[in-house]
């Protein structure tokens, strides 16, 4: 398998680096300070390949706080609001699209 | 029920202590994720889209009431109050935190339940008929042999790093409820001409990216040879199975490429060297394992008691449920009861902690404390006195697990799909939910008769779509969810793969397409009792294809 730093990156729009938090698997995003945040609005965003690769390397270097960092597409509205770039990322951010059974679904 | 001994308990205790240490070292940073991942997977811990998922195996689908209560406790204490019963007689918890996993696994271990070998390239949970020990057409209880295999293959050093995962299923009834022909090894107990009991050995079945129905390599294997023969199969697979390509690593590819006959010869050659060694099962060994299963102390009862016939006459809903969800038992005066985990609009196979606790109580009261899990993602109370059925039904109805749709169009098998799974391309659960709404009319469902819809959210086929009477496979096209539709598959003793109807249809049209297929069936069937599958076998797929694509 090709290492992430050697993979050819193809970016067609704004992207962020996302991962799962080690302790509970929650979805997190790399922020501009190099930390992890659960808020997509606080994520570091780029449209440039080199910057995306650098962010990814930064995310992958942290093996304690987050697991499995990768680059994910986002959409940016005209007023700057970020939303996930595909259904998979929407579900990661917002949870299942179905009501959870029992009390969990209330 | 199988009763664990001190050795079993010590093994589980050791594993809990080991995993607790591994988690602590991961959290401290002593272990990297690359180092930790194979260790957590060996305990059934996956990292899914938005949380850790713990997969717990339920060997041969048998649970005691204390075990089910413990599953409820784990769901409530460590998760979000529910669990998901899978197509391989496992249960999955979707929201467990890493640092709480050792405590959860320790709690499960107290009742002999664990997640070992629910992941990784090893022999997975050995499954069987959920009616085992109760079915009238059963030759012997297949769980005894499943347990012999389980003991031998748990933490077996030679088979802990196979080319790929390995799934074994057994049945001992004429009607296959365990889908053995789509497993890596399927074992069908039967009697030979001399009246001896043994197994037909089927290998190389499987679904996923490259589906195959298994091939018979031994039509009759004596019981004494079960362990040595399975060992020989695994050795041949371990030696010749491909490790260079994950998509070609399953035994089904090896059997296909070598041919079943050549593969069988390799197995025979390996087996000859070990068949009379320590793996030969003598009658005493089988009897010893059998003696650790406890069986109900049945009362002497007659079939069709007065209470039952009275209830059938006075309550139409009860009568409908009885006709759908209750099956004959080998013991006079008793019945097998299936609990539908497929109510309208609910995720298939999900049960809340409260439901699990209540079902455990009902099992104590009405089924000798036993519960079963079937690969169709329903539960079973296997030993219910017929005179208790009216009272049991009222309790199950109040719990929401008495929808009389077992084996009908809304009894849908579905994987968790993209709502949970990191491998999925599309969602499965909302499709299933919409279909249960479309077919909420249970009179129509009964008129349709047996009709299995199976849904998978990706090519890995956890939802068994290839063997659904109607199979739905989610695929992604340009970022959108689409579904391929196949018909005519089946997972029983006449197992076969469905035929693809045509181009994939958009997510939003899937329920319409299924309704079109069902409408075509109603027009095409010769008689009301010709089930969907038989109509497809008689007329082929073309009339259905025309119906689905004529206006699309």
Arithmetic mean of pLDDT over chain B: 97
**Best residue in B41, B46, B47, B49 for a mutation probing chain A (most A CBs within 10 Å):** B49
State how far residue A99 is from chain B, nearest Cα, in angstroms.
9
Find, in chain A, the residue whose alpha carbon is nearest to that of B341.
A101
Closest CA to B521 of B495, B547, B502, B498: B547
Arithmetic mean of pLDDT over chain A: 92
Strand ranges in B2-139 using DSSP code E only, listed in sequence order? 45-47, 52-57, 62-64, 82-85, 90-96, 127-128
Can you give the pLDDT at residue B270?
98
Kindly provide the ipTM of the predicted complex, given to two decimals: 0.93
Tokens, residue B156? 């077996």
What mean pLDDT is predicted for residues B291-316?
Answer: 96
Distance in angstroms (rounded) separating the CA atoms of residues B52 and A23: 9
Can you give the pLDDT at residue A10?
85
- pLDDT above 70 covers a percentage of chain B that reads 100
B350–A91 C-beta distance less than 8 A: no
State how far residue A8 is from chain B, nearest Cα, in angstroms.
20
Closest CA to B84 of B454, B432, B414, B433: B414
Asked whether residue A90 is domain-assigned, the answer is no
- Residue B379 forms beta bridges with which residues? B339, B373
Distance in angstroms (rounded) separating the CA atoms of residues B311 and B298: 23
Asked whether residue A95 is domain-assigned, the answer is no
Can you give the pLDDT at residue A84?
98
State how far residue A79 is from chain B, nearest Cα, in angstroms.
25
Can you give the pLDDT at residue B3?
78
Can you give the pLDDT at residue B8?
86
State how far residue B360 is from chain A, nearest Cα, in angstroms.
17
What mean pLDDT is predicted for residues A87-93?
Answer: 97
Reported as a pLDDT band with limits 50, 70 and 90, residue B6 is confident
Distance in angstroms (rounded) separating the CA atoms of residues B442 and B451: 13
B51–A102 C-beta distance less than 8 A: no
CATH number of B135-291: 3.30.413.10
Asked whether residue A57 is domain-assigned, the answer is yes
Cβ distance B303 to B382 under 8 Å?
no
Instruction: Tell me the torsion sign for CA atoms B8, B12, B17, B21.
Output: positive
Domain extent at residue A70: 16-82
Can you give the pLDDT at residue B435?
98
Angle between helices B542-549 and B510-524 (to 10 degrees): 140
**Best residue in A100, A105, A106 for a mutation probing chain B (most B CBs within 10 Å):** A100
Can you give the pLDDT at residue B551?
84
B81–A88 C-beta distance less than 8 A: no
Chain A residue numbers with beta carbons less than 8 Å from the beta carbon of B29 are 63-64
pLDDT tens string B150-163 = 999 999 999 999 99
- pLDDT above 90 covers a percentage of chain B that reads 98
pLDDT tens string B466-495 = 999 999 999 999 999 999 999 999 999 999
State how far residue A100 is from chain B, nearest Cα, in angstroms.
8
pLDDT tens string B332-365 = 999 999 999 999 999 999 999 999 999 999 999 9
Tokens, residue B218? 């031994």
pLDDT tens string A16-62 = 999 999 999 999 999 999 999 999 999 999 999 999 999 999 999 99
First-to-last C-alpha distance (Å) of chain B? 53
B347–A101 C-beta distance less than 8 A: yes
Can you give the pLDDT at residue A103?
58
Which of B347, B351, B481 faces A98 most closely, judged by CB atoms?
B347
Q: Match 């809903």 to its residue by tokens.
A: B317
What mean pLDDT is predicted for residues B367-376?
Answer: 98
Domain-by-domain residue ranges, chain B?
6-109, 135-291, 306-399, 413-549
pLDDT tens string B114-152 = 999 999 999 999 999 999 999 999 999 999 999 999 999
Asked whether residue A10 is domain-assigned, the answer is no
The fold for domain B306-399 equals Sulfite Reductase Hemoprotein; domain 2 (3.90.480)
Please enumerate in sequence order all residues whose Cβ is within 8 A of that of A2, keeping only pairs 6 or more positions apart, or say none: none
Asked whether residue A59 is domain-assigned, the answer is yes
Asked whether residue A58 is domain-assigned, the answer is yes
**Best residue in A104, A105, A106 for a mutation probing chain B (most B CBs within 10 Å):** A104
Chain B residue numbers with beta carbons less than 8 Å from the beta carbon of A102 are 81-82, 352-355
pLDDT tens string B167-218 = 999 999 999 999 999 999 999 999 999 999 999 999 999 999 999 999 999 9
A20–B47 C-beta distance less than 8 A: yes
Reported as a pLDDT band with limits 50, 70 and 90, residue A106 is very low
Can you give the pLDDT at residue A104?
57
Angle, alpha carbons B484-B487-B490 (nearest 5°)? 120
State how far residue A50 is from chain B, nearest Cα, in angstroms.
25
Domain B6-109 shares a fold with domain B413-549: no
CATH H superfamily, domain B413-549: Sulfite Reductase Hemoprotein, domain 1 (3.30.413.10)
How many residue pairs from chains A and B have C-beta atoms closer than 8 A? 81
Which of A22, A98, A102 faces B352 most closely, judged by CB atoms?
A102
State how far residue B436 is from chain A, nearest Cα, in angstroms.
14
Can you give the pLDDT at residue B313?
97
pLDDT above 80: residue A2 = no
The fold for domain B6-109 equals Sulfite Reductase Hemoprotein; domain 2 (3.90.480)
State how far residue A51 is from chain B, nearest Cα, in angstroms.
25
Mark out chain B residues that contact chain A at CB-CB < 8 A. 26-27, 29, 32-33, 47-52, 80-82, 97-99, 346-347, 350-355, 418-420, 427, 429-430, 433, 479, 481
Q: What are phi and psi of A6, to 5 degrees?
A: -100, -10
Q: Please tell me the total count of domains within chain A.
A: 1
Closest CA to B87 of B458, B455, B493: B455
B81–A63 C-beta distance less than 8 A: no
Can you give the pLDDT at residue B1?
72
A87–B479 C-beta distance less than 8 A: yes
A67–B33 C-beta distance less than 8 A: yes
Chain A residue numbers with beta carbons less than 8 Å from the beta carbon of B52 are 24-25
pLDDT above 60: residue B283 = yes
Reported as a pLDDT band with limits 50, 70 and 90, residue B499 is very high
Distance in angstroms (rounded) separating the CA atoms of residues B410 and B345: 10
Chain A residue numbers with beta carbons less than 8 Å from the beta carbon of B415 are none
Find, in chain B, the residue whose alpha carbon is nearest to that of A24.
B97
User: What is Dmax (Cα atoms) for chain B?
Assistant: 68
């Amino acid at each position: 398998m090709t290492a992430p730093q050697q993979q050819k990156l193809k970016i067609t729009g704004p992207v962020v680096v996302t991962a799962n938090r080690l302790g509970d698997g929650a979805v997190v995003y790399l922020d501009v300070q190099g930390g992890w945040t659960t808020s997509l609005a606080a994520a570091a965003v780029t449209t440039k390949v080199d910057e995306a690769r650098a962010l990814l390397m930064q995310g992958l270097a942290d093996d304690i706080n987050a697991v499995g960092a990768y680059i994910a597409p986002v959409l940016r509205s005209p007023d700057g609001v970020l939303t996930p770039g595909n259904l998979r990322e929407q579900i990661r951010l917002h949870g299942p699209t179905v009501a959870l059974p029992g009390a969990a679904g209330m | 029920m199988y009763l664990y001994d001190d050795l079993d308990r010590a093994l589980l205790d050791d594993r809990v202590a080991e995993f607790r240490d591994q988690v602590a070292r991961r959290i401290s940073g002593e272990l990297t994720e690359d180092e930790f991942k194979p260790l957590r997977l060996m305990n059934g811990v996956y990292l899914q889209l938005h949380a850790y998922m713990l997969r717990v195996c339920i060997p041969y689908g048998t649970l005691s009431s204390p075990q089910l209560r413990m599953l409820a406790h784990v769901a409530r204490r460590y998760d979000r109050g529910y669990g998901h019963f899978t197509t391989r007689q496992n249960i999955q918890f979707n929201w467990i935190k890493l640092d709480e996993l050792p405590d959860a696994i320790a709690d499960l271990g107290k009742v002999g339940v664990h997640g070992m070998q629910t992941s990784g390239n090893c022999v997975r949970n050995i499954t069987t008929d959920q009616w085992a020990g109760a079915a009238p057409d059963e030759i012997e209880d297949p769980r005894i042999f499943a347990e012999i295999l389980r003991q031998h293959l748990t933490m077996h050093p030679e088979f802990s790093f196979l080319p790929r995962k390995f799934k074994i299923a057994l049945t001992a009834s004429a009607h296959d409820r365990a889908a053995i022909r789509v497993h890596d090894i399927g074992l069908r107990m039967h009697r030979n001409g001399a009246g001896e009991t043994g197994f037909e050995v089927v290998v190389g079945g499987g679904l996923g990216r490259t589906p195959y129905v298994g091939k018979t390599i031994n039509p009759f294997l004596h019981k004494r040879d079960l362990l040595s023969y399975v060992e020989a199969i695994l050795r041949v697979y371990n030696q010749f199975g491909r490790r260079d390509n994950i998509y070609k690593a399953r035994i089904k590819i090896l059997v296909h490429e070598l041919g079943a006959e050549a593969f069988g010869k390799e197995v025979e050659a390996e087996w000859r060297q070990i068949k009379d060694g320590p793996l030969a099962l003598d009658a005493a060994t089988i009897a010893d394992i059998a003696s650790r299963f406890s069986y109900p102390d049945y009362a002497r009862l007659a079939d069709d008691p007065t209470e039952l016939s009275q209830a059938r006459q006075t309550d139409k809903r009860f009568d409908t449920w009885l006709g759908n969800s209750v099956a004959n038992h080998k013991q006079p005066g008793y019945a097998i009861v299936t609990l539908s985990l497929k109510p309208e609009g609910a995720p298939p196979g999900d049960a809340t902690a409260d439901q699990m606790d209540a079902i455990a109580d009902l099992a104590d009261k009405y089924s000798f404390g036993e519960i079963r899990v079937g690969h169709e993602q329903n539960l079973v109370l296997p030993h219910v006195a017929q005179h208790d059925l009216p009272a049991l039904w009222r309790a199950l109805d109040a719990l929401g697990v008495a929808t009389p749709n077992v084996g009908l169009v809304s009894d849908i098998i579905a994987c968790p799909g993209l709502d949970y799974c990191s491998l999925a391309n599309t969602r499965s659960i909302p499709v299933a939910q919409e279909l249960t709404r479309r077919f909420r009319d249970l009179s129509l469902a009964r008129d349709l008769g047996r009709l299995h819809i199976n849904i998978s959210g990706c090519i890995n086929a956890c939802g068994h779509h290839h063997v659904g009477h109607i199979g739905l496979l989610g695929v992604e096209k340009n970022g959108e969810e689409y579904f391929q539709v196949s018909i005519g598959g089946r997972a029983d003793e006449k197992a076969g793969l469905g035929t693809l109807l045509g181009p994939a249809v958009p997510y939003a049209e899937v329920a319409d397409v299924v309704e079109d297929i069902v409408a075509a069936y109603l027009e095409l069937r010769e008689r009301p009792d010709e089930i969907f599958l038989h109509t497809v076998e008689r007329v082929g797929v073309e009339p259905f294809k025309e119906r689905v694509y004529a206006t699309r």
